[in-house]
Structure 1
Amino acid sequence: MAAVDSFQFLYTEIARSCNSYFETLALVGAVYTASRAAVLLRDCCTLVRVHFLPRMMPSRRLAQRFGQWAVIYGASEAIAKAYAEELARQGINIIFVSQDNAAVRDAALSLSQSYGVETVIVEADFTLGQVAGKPVKDALRGKDVGFLVNCVDESLAFPQSLIEVSEQDLLDLVNRNVAAITLMTRLVLPGMVERSRGAVVNISSGACCQPLPGRVTLSASTGYLDHFSRALHLEYGCRGIYVQSLIPFQVASSGRPPSASSSSSPAAAAAHGWLVPKPEVYARHAISTLGISHRTTGYWPHTLQYGLMRCIPEWIWVPASRMLLSSS
């Protein structure tokens, strides 16, 4: 009777009866671990294929592959200017489309003098509707346009609740980041389809990866641009048009606020390092991924950041971002 009351005897009997369940759970755990290891290995291979191999093994010149001219919309942003410079470095002529010519005049002159390329500035105010498209069409006529680079405007990147933003600012932001970019793509795409080649690069922001309180409009507009790029690729990828969605995180830019996906400290805007590259460093890395990945951060440390954000559940991310916002 004493043996029956023994804990060791009871444990042995329970273990014997549950032995089959233990084996099943062990098998499930092994399968899950193997699947996660396979995903990690796949992500590592993708990281090397997208960000390192293209820089070690240069491919055919972009001008030969896509065309001799590039259209840059949103060049007042530092990333877009740096991207235009990288294209000009490879001998590609640049058409700047801007609402304010003064914002890109110096950049256009600098590219012409430094790299001997042609530069054209087109003033287009998309608040006027379809009328704004006429000067763009005139500038495109007769040119082998192989690139369209659209860059999101982060002028409302500082934390603000929706009701703190004026109605006019909201309309302007949606017009610049949604309507104008979509219309620009509509204007440039027919020529690319006719030539059966071309590249559309839409530069949004890491703000589209997770919802961000205080940056509702920026998160939504960058999310639109990202999904627009992916849908456009499905629609025109089979017709020789390469569509890429670039999702950068914080990029250093003196005098500009930091990207919405990162710290909101104004001092961070001028700082730079391996996680916060200078615009020219980011553009050099990003342009090497063109033709390699349809959706990428464009910079390998940012890809690590994106992978980390993807692992954080929304129920943890939202309160953490609110705490960060309140402490800034």
Structure 2
Amino acid sequence: MAAVDSFSLLLREIGRSCNCYMETLALIGALYTAKMGFTLMNDTYTLIRLHFIPRLVKRADLVKLYGKWAVVTGGTSGIGKYYAKELASRKVNIILISRNQEKLEALAQEIVNTYKVETAIIVTDFSKGSEIYPSIERALAGKEIGILVNNVGVFYTHPDYFTSLTQDKIWELINVNIGAANMMVHMVLPGMVQRKKGAIVNISSMSCCQPTPLMTAYSASKAYLDHFSRALHYEYAPQGIFVQSLIPFFISTNLTTYSRHLSKKSFLVPSAEEYARHAVTTLGISRRTTGYWLHTIQFLLGQYLPEWLWAWGTYRMNNSLRLEATLQRPH
């Protein structure tokens, strides 16, 4: 029977094999560390380039870059209202589309008085579906639409289980969050292509980052907008059209009144005015951004999380918000 010559020889052979494996693992670790270091530096550079440098340099001439008129849907409150004001401050004429005529007229007059630009209003309810779009198209005819901001959107009354939604609410989510953006883009894009310039901003949501329980239908509709924007940019960028997917996290607006904490302005929850002021500076620079530097940090962290951890965390958060809203509801 064969035998090993000596134990020390066997030990050396085992050590040699282990050293080979250790060197391989060390190389893999070094490559991974280098990759993560490069990613961190790139993300830091992107954060500075998007959210700080544009605020230090001269503001871009949006009329020259894109055109004379901007259309803002859902423009009487929240992000839409203040995004319209920011565009008007840069001498872009504004067309506001919403369902409340009184609020539209008041905001349009305020913009005229403050910024000395032209305004127009279109009263419509995007939840009505396809029947509303011919009248919108007629109202926009003859105007050089350079910027389209698809801001109109609906949310649940508060985070909730999918089976708690009514059929009317589901159709409203589809017609407003998905249908409106598609139809408005289809309406104004041919003119932009003809002029070889234009910008489209589709406002999505942080819930599009990964599957978000208790916001299931809403987050899916916002994920659609995000993918729609990204694909549309690749399709039309060669023809001079800039398409941006704007992905805000929580903002203090009417959509967050179900929570005492989210309805109050804070370090991580900016006002709609503050958010819009930051977001407009990213137009033409980034085709996919949160629009706000603190939200960008949150977004980067969210992307690095495993799906199961994101889903676990957002489920716990949204369930807490659901319970808070339920307790606040009058009996």
Answering whether residue 234 of structure 2 is matched by residue 234 of structure 1, we say: yes
Structure 1 residues 17 and 226: alpha-carbon distance in aligned structure 2, compared to 1, 3 A threshold: closer
Aligned to 1:317: 310
Per the alignment, residue 133 of structure 1 pairs with: 133
Per-residue CA deviations over 1:109-162 (Å, capped at 9, x if unaligned) read 211111111111112344555442233222222222111000141331611211
CA RMSD of aligned residues (A): 2.2
**Residues 247-286 of structure 1: pairs in structure 2 closer than 5 A:** 247-253=247-253, 255-257=254-256, 266-286=259-279
The answer to whether residue 196 in structure 2 is matched with residue 203 in structure 1 is: no
- AA paired with 1:70? A
The letter of the residue matching 2:134 is K
> Partners in 2 of 1:308 and 1:41 — Cα distance?
14
The residue that corresponds to 1:293 in the other structure is: 286
Over 3 Å counting, the alpha-carbon distance change for 1:284 and 1:101 in structure 2 is: same
Q: CA separation of 1:161/1:243 partners in 2, compared to 1, >3 Å: closer, same or farther?
A: same
**Which residue number in structure 2 is paired with residue 191 of structure 1?**
191
Q: Report the CA distance shift for 1:126/1:282 in structure 2 as closer, same or farther (over 3 A).
A: closer
Alignment of structure 1 residues 1-328 onto 2, 5 Å: 14-126=14-126, 129-156=129-156, 158-253=158-253, 255-257=254-256, 266-328=259-321
Give the ranges of 4+ consecutive aligned residues of structure 1 lying more than 6 Å apart after TM superposition: 9-13
How far the C-alpha of 1:165 sits from its partner, in A, is: 1.1
Gaps spanning 5+ residues in structure 1: where? 259-264
1:257 partner letter: T
Distance of 2:11 and 2:158 partners within structure 1: 61
Gaps of 5+ in 2: 1-5, 322-331
Deviations 1:46-104 (A, max 9, x none): 11112111111225311111111100112244011110010011111111122332343
Tell me which moved more, 47-56 or 293-302: 47-56
For the residue of structure 2 that corresponds to 1:266, the secondary structure is coil
- 1:48 maps to a residue whose letter is I
* CA distance 1:197–1:72, shift in 2 (3 Å): same
Q: Is the 8 A contact 2:247 2:289 kept in 1?
A: yes
More moved, 72-81 vs 100-109: 100-109
Shift of 1:14: 4.2
Q: Deviations over 1:164-184 (max 9, x none)?
A: 111112112210111122101
**Structure 1 pair 33/193, CA: closer, same or farther in 2 (3 Å)?**
same
CA positional deviation for 1:226: 0.7
Are the equivalent residues in 1 in contact too, given 2:75–2:152 (CA < 8 A)? no
Post-superposition offset of 1:163: 1.6
Moved more, 145-154 or 9-18: 9-18
* Deviation at residue 292 of structure 1 after TM alignment: 0.5
- Tell me which moved more, 284-293 or 71-80: 71-80
CA distance in 1, matches of 2:88, 2:82: 10
Secondary structure of the residue that 1:71 maps to in structure 2?
Answer: strand
TM-score for both structures, normalised by structure 2? 0.88
Alignment length (residue pairs): 316
The one-letter code sitting in structure 2 at the alignment partner of 1:138 is R
Greater Cα shift, 187-196 or 266-275: 266-275
Structure 1's 127 and 26: CA in aligned 2 closer, same or farther, altered over 3 A? Answer: closer
Q: How many Å apart are 1:214 and its aligned residue?
A: 1.2
